[in-house]
């Protein structure tokens, strides 16, 4: 098991019809939050390896098999030489196609249907929405894309952030040392 890494992968949509969250305001006042009516959006494909505090992302205008393959190419490049990655992901149609089985250092475990609580990337999306992407006005696609990239980099560049947020005891390979 020393040559195996566990990664969690998922996608998040970000756009002008964004998230409105609570904000601090002086007692007795009602702060205003922007809500856009436009429909421009993009997707963040994200994967994390809590054991190494590593993360890989791709911002793409649409979800699908080709975007997923591009994301997997980036993940594959970030797996250390001589190791393999087991990627835990949901059952989106672009995750279940056999077209993804082209990487010699990547294998998949598909989560049961309707079980986002098992994918720790969901907590990362919550952090990005709440702390970086909510209550914002985006003028166009480029603005959304830049905000996604800034949010991702701001979060993952905090040392230990991925490990502390995304570690799951059940996915810790050191629990299974007797299998070596």
Q: Is residue 116 part of a domain?
A: yes
How far CA 34 is from CA of 10, 37, 128, in Å, comes to 27, 10, 18
Number of domains in the chain: 1
Cα–Cα distance for residue pair 152/59, rounded to 1 Å:
10
Q: Is residue 95 part of a domain?
A: yes
User: Is the predicted pLDDT of residue 178 greater than 70, yes or no?
Assistant: no
Residue 97: domain span: 4-15+37-169
Q: How confident is the model at residue 169 (pLDDT cuts 50, 70, 90)?
A: confident
Q: Report the CATH number at residue 131.
A: 3.30.420.10
Helices (H), 101-140: 121-128
Q: Identify which of 109, 136, 120, 139 has the alpha carbon closest to the alpha carbon of residue 4.
A: 109
pLDDT at 19: 64
What are the tens digits of pLDDT across the range 26-84? 888 877 666 656 678 899 999 999 999 999 999 999 999 999 999 999 999 999 999 99
Q: Where are the beta strands (DSSP E) in the chain?
A: 4-15, 41-49, 54-60, 84-89, 106-110
Q: How far apart are CA 118 and CA 168, in angstroms?
A: 9
Q: What is the pTM of this model?
A: 0.84
Q: Give a yes or no: residue 115 inside a domain.
A: yes
* 138 in Cβ contact with 42 (< 8 Å): no
């Amino acid at each position: 098991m020393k040559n195996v890494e566990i990664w969690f992968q998922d996608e998040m949509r970000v756009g002008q019809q964004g998230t409105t969250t609570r904000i601090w305001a002086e007692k007795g006042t009602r702060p205003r939050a922007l809500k856009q009516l436009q429909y421009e959006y993009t997707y963040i494909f994200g994967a994390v390896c809590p054991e190494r505090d590593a993360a890989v992302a791709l911002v793409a205008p649409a979800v699908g098999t080709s975007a997923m393959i591009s994301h997997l190419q980036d993940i594959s490049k970030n797996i250390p030489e001589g190791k393999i990655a087991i990627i835990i992901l949901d059952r989106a149609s672009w995750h279940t196609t056999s077209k993804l089985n082209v990487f010699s250092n990547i294998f998949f475990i598909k989560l049961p249907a309707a079980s986002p609580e098992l994918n720790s990337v969901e907590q990362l999306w919550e952090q990005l929405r709440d702390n970086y992407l909510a209550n914002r006005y985006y003028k166009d696609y480029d603005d959304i894309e830049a905000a996604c990239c800034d949010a991702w980099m701001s979060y993952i560049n905090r040392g230990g952030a991925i490990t502390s947020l995304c570690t799951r005891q059940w996915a810790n390979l050191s629990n299974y040392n007797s299998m070596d």
